[in-house]
Structure 1
Amino acid sequence: MNKVLPRACVCAYDALALFAVAVVLSFAFITPAYAYVDPSVMTYAIQAVAGVAVALSTVLGVAFRRTRKKLLNALGVDENARKEHEPRVHRVDASGNVVYTAADEAVQHGRASRAGSHAVRADRPSGYAPKWVMRLAVGMAVSFFAVFTVLVIAPCEIIAGNESSLLFGLSSTWTIFLIPGILIALALSLVLSALRGKVFNAAVLLVFGVGLACYVQVMGFNGGLPTATGATVDWTQYKTIMVISTGVWVVVAVLPWLLSQLNRKMVQFASLFLSVALVLVQGVGLASLFVGNETSKSDDVNYLVTETGMMNVTEKNNIVVFILDGCDTKTDVMPALEQDPSMLSGMTGFTWFQNSTPGICPTREALPALITGKVNAPHSDSANNEKAQNTDYLADLDNAGYDVGLYSDMIPGTTPDTYEHTINGLQDGGERADVIKPNAAETRTALWKCAMYRDLPWAFKPFFWFYTDEINVAMGTTDSDSGDAKTTESGYQIDTTPYITNDAGFYEKLSSTQKLSVVDNDSTGSFRLIHLNGPHYPYILDADAQLSDNSDRVTQTRASFRIVSEYIEQMKQLGVYDDATIIITADHGYRSESNFDCINNELVMSPVMLVKPAQSSTDASRPLQVSQVAVDNVDVMATALTGAPNIDAAEYPDSMLSMQDTDRTRYFYFCIKDETLAEKGWMELQITGDALDANNWTPTGLVYDNSLEQWVYIDDQQEFQDKWLKYLYKNMR
């Protein structure tokens, strides 16, 4: 009993020391980023804190070690008790008799001498030979640290920081990485523990060094890492950081082994201690992601967007809105028509409004604005916006008896007053929700690729480049069970496949595996909003909408219209084309990664706008018409519903088909980013007249400043130029 209490005190002290160091290191942890998938979820401030935290943890380690020795002395605990010691090594003569040296005699009589300091010691590298249990402990510590850092923590942090852009969140995916991570770490631990001597030392410290290098890479060398928007990256711009990060990465990975040449035992123990500490730190960070997720969730019901009804129309009164992401009149459609003059030949009965403007950009703001007809900004447009304040188009459609299908993975399932009106919004916790799960193998492969992109040095990042839809496609290659083929109240077969923006996949279903079909029910009609990638990068489709490694923006524009044309042709074959209202538009026009791409020193953004109303067969067969009436994509829903049966559109904003003004003043709100692509806020631009004429685009001086969280008018021209215009006119300085 006398020995138990001191030992318990020492164990409690060790636990306290480990916890204290872990707490200090936890301040170095990262914060999530929101937008497109961003693997580099780290700010410069956090990097600085990380350095301080590591330094403090080192100081704490030294302090705790020295204090521990004093505690052991005070409690009378012998650290070396019950430990086996190697016998002293002596030289022997030919007869086997020990030959004592002067050093041996000096030690034996207690007289320290210079010769004694050169005697072989047990703690020198060549003399330290840990037993299997110790090798297993060290191997397990470094294995769990390295494996967890790359294969568990990295994918979980990427998902948690970008849930708004991904199909499934952390709560649905964390076990996909944790369980294999544990198995891989255990297997690696056993392999390492089977090694001995120098081989074990080199292997275990290499594993530790690689894990530490990955950790250091994320903490200090991922600043400015491109986000996964799918845009082509010019990696030649990153040559300097490639050289620096690779050098640092190699040094950090090899340094533990080099230090072990001085004192193998000390370095192995240090690697064990740091591995455990960093696993605890990252574990705390991982747990905080779940806590942050729970506290950030609203009380809104969450819906999973499925493909139910996507390939169905009704016998009458069909309203179809295609959103071709980023499809621009001037940059995309007109050049595509030069390549293929017949591209729009199937658009009979349509009017092409070429003088079209967007309401707001980027997509996360533009899609809700398009669906509601509302832009939350002071001017935001015309008298039309004032009328739109009291509209609720989806609710009106639902109440009028329409089957509403909303197919987009860019409108969150928690968006209020949205998916509760649809046939394809599967409520979280509903009877089918438990069978909709991410594809474990595909998700793991995709996110481990992302982890490599994040954790490896810059020189290797191009080999692991990815884009957001790769992750969503992997997650949505479902393990779902459509099972007993239940149907909705409207007669649509429930499809538990989550909707993902995948133009090639959509076209394959439309043209071969499923095709469009008519559902015979008692509904008033159907409404379908289908969000496709359009000419938005990455450019992966040829003109026939087939996957290709050799494409460009104009070619992919042709692919987009190939898809839409196939849909229209099938509507004609089914006999539901004439009385259908069809709108082909975009959430916004063309934009570069950060701001407008000023082509030929022109600053314009014009989302494509093709409109066909319900009409007679004669009108539905007339060739495409062109109009220069000034329209805006927030006019889309009012236009789509005007004239629809059972819909009272008296209080709606004006339909594009009834407008006459070619000089209408419209307002556009563009998200401004600085050199690091951090969002500064929104700038208001006024467009009067032809939207394709850059001279008609004028900044008004009104901005929404994120730092102030309010709209402000800047009348100081120099301040406006320095803080806002220089980021807008990217190539016009």
Structure 2
Amino acid sequence: MTKQRCLTRLKRSILPVFCLVFTMLGYGPTELYLSNMGSEEFWFSFNEILLPFAVLIVASLIIILGLLMVLPTKGYHVVMAIIIAVSALLLLQALFLPNDYGSLNGEVIDWSQYSGRLVYNTAIWIVVIVGAVFWAFRNWQSFRKVMQFTAVILLVLQTAILVTAGITHPEDHGEAAAKEVYLTTEDLYTVSSDRNTIVFILDAFDSQLMCDLIEEHPEEIKSSFEDFTFYHNTNGGATRTKFAIPYILTGKTNDNGGSYMNYLAESFQKAPLFQELRKGHYHSGIYTEYGYVDCSQTEAIDNLSSGGQMKAVSQWGLCQSLMKMVLFKQAAHILKPVFWMYSFELAQWRGGNGNTEAVPYKLNDIQFYQHLQTEGISAEKKEPVFRFVHMMGAHGPYTMNEDIQKIPHEQGSIKQQGLGSLRIIAEYIKQLKMLDVYDRTNIFVLADHGNREYVHPSYEQNPLLMVREAGKSKPFSISEIRLSFQDLSAMLAESLKSVPNIEEKYQTEGTRYFYVGSTTNNGYTITEYASEGNAYDTDSYYLTGKVYSPAEENSTDYKLGEEILFGDRYGAPAQRYMINGFSYIDPDYVWSSEKEVEFGFKLGDIKDNLLLTIEYHAVMNGFQRCYLYADDQMIGSFSTTKADVRKFIIPGECVKEGMLNIRMDLPDCYNPVTHGTGVDNRNLGLGFYSIQIDSTDEVYEPEKQLTIHKYDLGQEIVFGKDGNMSDYAIGGISEDHWTSGKKAWIQLEEVSADTALTLIMEYNTYKDQQHVIICANGEQIADYTAVGSEQKEMVIPQALLKNGSLTLEINLPDARKPDNGDQRELGLWMRRIVLRKAEEKKE
């Protein structure tokens, strides 16, 4: 290849290659960081990943461009086609294709649930890549121009998303992570020669799992935990870990309307355990995620470090883990199992702040055990010691076996890892005995919450609790007395001073409470459950009706004219206005999950009419009806088959005492489990993208907004711009009578019939004949070939009517574009449609 040709090829290659490299190594990590900045997992500053990814981008550009320079012409065309196709597909996968696999919380994904997604997602990737290669082969000149244009569009789109994410990201998100205070490993392996209270938290270790391990390994458990009592009937405090750890330490949930950080500060200040620790008589070490504790408790926690933000022990290792997360989001479905990870893998790269030798504590059971094996624990403290050690326990992914060896998560199981974690504690107990301090040590072995993956059904309300009281020797036993984690803080405070009298002092009579934290609707919510029965009897738990939400996150104050977005990637500002009926937050939108959804907006003194704009990006099952109410007054109705933007005028009098309450009824919401089409058990309707309310001078005209009309039997639906088709035709039919596309829909409401109906259609066909398939409410009622001008009659069974609602779907698989430049696919020229009772004789 000549120097000139090489230079020409280089110029043509730079932009598409940069697009691919930037999508993976620039946009991907940056967007993920901005979307999660300040969370417990994203503990690091952007500077930690900036240089490594910059180096990777430059190196990748050099390597790929260098390889392109030596390829033969056809090979070069193929590779360039693949590069631009993959660039587009990576962004398409991340932004638009179904990408919800739940949170990466360690629970292994059941990939068999996504067999349908596997097929169509793989097909999309193959078709796009093969199509690009085919085009490049057939007409390289035209493909080259489109390739350059596509690269520019993709780069502009990614830049816009990053700018938007940077602007809209709330500055105070993840306040805990922004603090330059964290929990270190200092004195993790030291105890007192005087008195000790040691608490081991085995994450997600359900009480039932302990029962099963006792049954399978009775001699080992009874020997290793001699002197312990297993309290089987223990009611936990809260789930999941973010809510559970503070509850264990304080005995309080966030029921005061404050933010999570205020909750930590107030509850830790008042907790019996920390009141005792602040007296200064003890050496205290708390080893868990720093975001779960009040890091201002410097008088009560001795392993707090400050003076600078944590640094990564390896920036390259951190970037490698982050890149797995990026590729899990961007890669084709078929490749996602390769990149699946536990999001807390990022925590394994935490290092000190550089100003001290203190190392941040990280949950790593194998590492903890290896230190016990090599260096052991020492009884060097003179004052009484309190240790609170949070371990992975029975939390997925299951990467440790019963012999405390690292294994691939595909080979692990909850029982293997659970048994391994118990053996680690057994080793710790053995060393306490060797140091001759065991008899003066209270030991608590418990879980933060139960495990819903292991026990079905479960609220995770029955976690493990085993206690060894100092100075008491006895065989391992199982107790059925009623205990509650609400009393743990007081129990631990008492154990610091003496031996806790559990059976006499902490038995719980009457009602026990359990709190389930979630992040749906208004920020996070905490739902209260109660039971008078046994803790391991899930059926005995019931909702009390109390749901707690942080007041500042629950504020519904709204500034007129502000567009509110629903998606998580935009900070989900719409959360605070979502009152009821919404699912969890997806990256771009939020699904309705009930037949009714409710919004609440605090507008203040409003007298003018309002303009409501709602944008939705997804319509479940291809068709949904919506009835819109403001202050219980129906102000609009519509049917929809695709993503759209809808505008409605709301009368000013609908604002009562400064509040505007909006309700949307969605009678066609669709449950994939009920219909046998999937594993999603939500009642899905619309995927909301944005909502906006503004003042307007426009007049409220209900007849223009109530577009779902009652149909009376015998009434003719006449097509064309002078007919009444617009009242009933909801898609696929143009004003000039022609169907447009391979499907058309007619929606009829309040159809009153106690017999079967006769459907009469008059039309002309495009190009002599058309294959026609008619469905009524999803059931096929006719399949025939239409020829020329004709009138067709067909019967609709009365059983197909759904609460007086009838959707007619006209399928036209042979519809095609005419030769005159019209871009519509024409099938039938519709004249009229009429419905009558089946026994009536047509005119």
Q: TM-score, normalised by structure 2?
A: 0.58
Report if aligned partners of 1:170, 1:290 keep a CA contact under 8 Å in 2.
no
Q: 1:577 aligns with which of 438, 463, 466?
A: 438
Question: CA 1:339 to 1:580, structure 2 compared with 1: closer, same or farther past 3 Å?
Answer: same
**Amino acid corresponding to residue 335 of structure 1 in structure 2:** D
Q: Give 2:282's aligned residue.
A: 402
Is structure 2 residue 310 aligned with structure 1 residue 464? no
Is structure 2 residue 296 aligned with structure 1 residue 417? yes
**Amino acid corresponding to residue 217 of structure 2 in structure 1:** D
Tell me the distance in 1 between the aligned counterparts of 2:547 and 2:278: 37
Structure 1's unaligned 5+ residue stretches are: 1-128, 380-385, 487-493, 713-717
**Amino acid corresponding to residue 575 of structure 1 in structure 2:** D
Is structure 2 residue 510 aligned with structure 1 residue 664? yes
Structure with higher helix content: 1
Is structure 2 residue 113 aligned with structure 1 residue 237? yes
Is structure 2 residue 385 aligned with structure 1 residue 563? no
Tell me the distance in 2 between the aligned counterparts of 1:147 and 1:367: 41
Describe the SS at the equivalent of 1:422: coil
Report if aligned partners of 2:254, 2:548 keep a CA contact under 8 Å in 1.
no
Q: Give 2:448's aligned residue.
A: 587
Question: CA 1:387 to 1:166, structure 2 compared with 1: closer, same or farther past 3 Å?
Answer: closer
Deviations 1:63-108 (A, max 9, x none): xxxxxxxxxxxxxxxxxxxxxxxxxxxxxxxxxxxxxxxxxxxxxx
Tell me the distance in 1 between the aligned counterparts of 2:530 and 2:464: 19
Report if aligned partners of 1:413, 1:419 keep a CA contact under 8 Å in 2.
no
Question: CA 1:212 to 1:695, structure 2 compared with 1: closer, same or farther past 3 Å?
Answer: closer
Tell me the distance in 2 between the aligned counterparts of 1:246 and 1:160: 29
**Amino acid corresponding to residue 669 of structure 1 in structure 2:** Y
Tell me the distance in 2 between the aligned counterparts of 1:371 and 1:636: 7
1:249-328 pair list within 5 angstroms: 249-261=125-137, 263-286=139-162, 292=169, 294-296=171-173, 298=175, 301-328=179-206
Question: CA 1:179 to 1:168, structure 2 compared with 1: closer, same or farther past 3 Å?
Answer: farther
Q: Give 1:611's aligned residue.
A: 467
TM-fit CA distance, 1:395: 5.9
Is structure 2 residue 386 aligned with structure 1 residue 527? yes
Tell me the distance in 1 between the aligned counterparts of 2:87 and 2:81: 10
Question: CA 1:284 to 1:575, structure 2 compared with 1: closer, same or farther past 3 Å?
Answer: farther
TM-fit CA distance, 1:481: 10
Report if aligned partners of 1:639, 1:657 keep a CA contact under 8 Å in 2.
no
Deviations 1:496-531 (A, max 9, x none): 2x3221212211221x2221112245xx32221111
* Root mean square deviation, CA, Å: 4.0
Question: CA 1:396 to 1:508, structure 2 compared with 1: closer, same or farther past 3 Å?
Answer: same
Is structure 2 residue 503 aligned with structure 1 residue 503? no
Question: CA 1:573 to 1:298, structure 2 compared with 1: closer, same or farther past 3 Å?
Answer: same
Q: 2:405 aligns with which of 546, 557, 565?
A: 546
Deviations 1:463-508 (A, max 9, x none): 33222344433x24x6x7999xx7xxxxxxx442x32212122112
Q: Give 2:9's aligned residue.
A: 135
**Amino acid corresponding to residue 117 of structure 2 in structure 1:** I
Q: Which structure exhibits the higher relative contact order, with contacts defined as CA atoms closer than 8 Å and separated by 6 or more residues?
A: 1
Deviations 1:568-615 (A, max 9, x none): 11112112222222211111112139xx722xxx877311112234x4
Report if aligned partners of 1:327, 1:590 keep a CA contact under 8 Å in 2.
yes
TM-fit CA distance, 1:391: 2.5
TM-fit CA distance, 1:711: 11
Question: CA 1:643 to 1:229, structure 2 compared with 1: closer, same or farther past 3 Å?
Answer: closer
Deviations 1:229-276 (A, max 9, x none): 222322122111111111111233344443345653443233234324
Deviations 1:173-200 (A, max 9, x none): 3333232122212332343345564443
Q: 1:683 aligns with which of 506, 509, 527?
A: 527
Q: Give 1:340's aligned residue.
A: 217
Task: Identify the range of structure 1 (279-288 vs 235-244) with the bigger mean alpha-carbon deviation.
Answer: 279-288
Tell me the distance in 2 between the aligned counterparts of 1:564 and 1:365: 24
Question: CA 1:177 to 1:678, structure 2 compared with 1: closer, same or farther past 3 Å?
Answer: farther
TM-fit CA distance, 1:666: 1.0
**Amino acid corresponding to residue 339 of structure 1 in structure 2:** E
Q: Give 1:390's aligned residue.
A: 270
Describe the SS at the equivalent of 2:389: strand
Question: CA 1:603 to 1:392, structure 2 compared with 1: closer, same or farther past 3 Å?
Answer: closer
TM-fit CA distance, 1:325: 0.8
Describe the SS at the equivalent of 2:443: strand
Describe the SS at the equivalent of 2:150: helix
**Amino acid corresponding to residue 185 of structure 2 in structure 1:** E
Tell me the distance in 2 between the aligned counterparts of 1:306 and 1:236: 41
Report if aligned partners of 2:88, 2:154 keep a CA contact under 8 Å in 1.
no
Structure with higher strand content: 2
Is structure 2 residue 49 aligned with structure 1 residue 173? yes
Tell me the distance in 2 between the aligned counterparts of 1:589 and 1:166: 22
TM-fit CA distance, 1:277: 4.2
Q: Give 1:187's aligned residue.
A: 63
**Amino acid corresponding to residue 491 of structure 2 in structure 1:** T
Report if aligned partners of 1:663, 1:690 keep a CA contact under 8 Å in 2.
no
Q: Give 1:444's aligned residue.
A: 319
Structure 2's unaligned 5+ residue stretches are: 258-265, 555-574, 581-594, 598-666, 674-679, 684-843
Report if aligned partners of 2:366, 2:404 keep a CA contact under 8 Å in 1.
yes
% identical equivalent positions: 25
TM-fit CA distance, 1:324: 0.7
Q: 2:254 aligns with which of 370, 376, 387?
A: 376
Describe the SS at the equivalent of 2:221: coil
Task: Identify the range of structure 1 (537-546 vs 315-324) with the bigger mean alpha-carbon deviation.
Answer: 537-546
Report if aligned partners of 2:295, 2:304 keep a CA contact under 8 Å in 1.
no
TM-fit CA distance, 1:227: 3.0
Q: TM-score, normalised by structure 1?
A: 0.66
Report if aligned partners of 1:321, 1:583 keep a CA contact under 8 Å in 2.
yes
Deviations 1:291-325 (A, max 9, x none): 63755364973323332211111222322111111
TM-fit CA distance, 1:338: 0.6
Q: Give 2:476's aligned residue.
A: 624
Describe the SS at the equivalent of 2:396: coil
Task: Identify the range of structure 1 (135-144 vs 293-302) with the bigger mean alpha-carbon deviation.
Answer: 293-302
Describe the SS at the equivalent of 1:582: strand
The number of aligned residues is 549
Tell me the distance in 2 between the aligned counterparts of 1:294 and 1:438: 26
